[in-house]
Structure 1
Amino acid sequence: MSQTLAKPQQRTVGNVAKVALAVGLITLSAKITIPFWPVPMTMQVATILLVAGLGGLRFGVASVGAYLAAGAAGLPVFAGTPEKGIGLAYMFGPTGGYLLGFLVAAILVGWATDRFGRRHGSLSMPLGLAVIYALGVAWLSQFVPSDKVLAFGVTPFLFGDLCKVVLAALLTVAAPTALIRRVQGRD
């Protein structure tokens, strides 16, 4: 009887560990700045899309949701934290819409991956990026004059983010099936 109880507990611990690892990867991707033109970039968008593309809806939402919860709790997980503030103050600042966009993009890409498989699901990644930008720009418009919102919130980042979408899609499609099974808990 104890073995039947141990199996679900082991699975739960394993899932929590995988989500914690994904949160760590998202955090790391937010903290590392790569020199790029016209602005330096982080790999956060690629990691968000990759997590959802590899893990599907449940894992993607759990991972991005846990990342946002860690940030809301005051952990310095976001790009520019703690220098630019932490916790809810940061989340309700100019980049808050992009953070919400991360969750919606994870829902979209994760659902597409579950529904259509990795190859076809990865085709939803540009739409995921569009959602991130749409929510980000809508929120940013509260802080920036409307004639400057695209110049501050889209234009400097678009080329780099499109490269990240391609990278995330390629890594998702190329990932070994054994890795996918492990991430999705089907091993």
Structure 2
Amino acid sequence: MSDTRTIALDADGVLLDYAKAYANAWAKYSGTVPVEHDPYAYWPMQRWGVPQLTGRALEDFRAHFDEVFWSSIPAVGGALKACELLANNGYELVCITALDARHALARKQNLLSLGFPITRVITTSLHAPLESPKAAALRELKPLAFVDDFGPYFAGVGPNIHKALVVRDPNGSPNTGEVLTLADSHHADLHEFACWWLERNSVSLL
């Protein structure tokens, strides 16, 4: 196991509520606030029941995913408290996010503005042919643990890094079947992971 005190955290779905931000982007694009269609849907499109766009319409919608969008996503409930628990017990928290590098500063500003004790933000591509696009960054960082809500992103992450899966929103989730075996532990949210991790390592939560 790594001798560092680093824990790597995904952003969307673990630290930040991307689904809520998606609804705000849709409202700006369409002029209509979407009504929640399925609160247990994993993917925002299904959660808000909005149509799949193509062509020029898709380009117009994507234009709303700008610096303002990436710097103003709200926090997931309990995530800030979880990070404070970990940081107060001596862990360095690093965000590893599959996001275009040009939005890295906006992402870091977003996290810091919400009070997250995140020391670094590392961006990766969204896809890699043979393993998780985050695997190379994790090999270099060598954290004790890596927390993500997208199970396929554990592929290729070595055994010396504890892989913790946040199992959220089951409808349409990719976290099923063999994907679940890629993770070393499963948790309802980041706060549950933090409490479990600290107890596992005999750290007081007080």
Give the TM-score normalised by the residue count of structure 1. 0.35
Higher strand share: 2
Give the TM-score normalised by the residue count of structure 2. 0.32
Higher helix share: 1
